[in-house]
Amino acid sequence: MMSTRTLKLAAIGTAAGAFSGLLGVGGGSVMVPLLIVWLGYGEREATGTSMMAIVVIAALAVTLQAFYGNVDPPNAALVGLPAIGGAIAGTALQQRLPERAISLLFAVLLVVIAVELIIP
């Protein structure tokens, strides 16, 4: 018998997995807000835990996508290798920011991307 908390984690995992497989993202954009709003995480804790789950989710999703022949490893390295440096800088910067600023920056990023995608 799963506890309510485990069921919530399962629901977050399923939603994040679906968005990850569907949209090619790690699912963090779904997990971070749900961990904060639903499970009472602090912003920083939500982002760190989201990353933990992303490792598992993205590894699963990329394995499935590989069966469809959609993965391009050289281009993955082209964006992924600079991104590793970016992630180290980003996590360091995060420790120096107020938590509300993290939420607002997240929102700005999402709006920019949405506009790019929706307007052809």
- Min. distance of Cβ 4 from other proteins in angstroms? 10
- Token pair in block for residue 42: 């602090």
Kindly tell me which of 1 and 54 has the beta carbon lying closer to other proteins: 54
Provide the angle, in degrees to the nearest 10, between the axes of the packed helices 43-67 and 28-39: 140
Task: Write the CB contacts of 58 (distance below 8 Å, at least 6 apart in sequence).
Answer: 20, 26, 27
- Report, in Å, the least distance between residue 98 CB and other proteins: 10
Stretch 90-119 residues interacting with other proteins (CB under 8 A): 90-95, 97, 100, 102-111, 113-118
Q: How far is the CB of 86 from other proteins (least distance, A)?
A: 3
Q: Does 16 bind other proteins (CB under 8 A)?
A: yes
Contact between 1 and other proteins per CB under 8 A: no
Site track 32-71 with other proteins (rule: CB under 8 A), x = hit: xx--xx-xxxx-xxxxxxxxxxxxxxxxxxx-xxx-x-xx
Task: Kindly provide the b/e burial profile for residues 11-37, where b requires at least 16 CB atoms within 10 angstroms of the residue's own CB.
Answer: ebbeebbebbbeeebbbbbbbbbbbbe
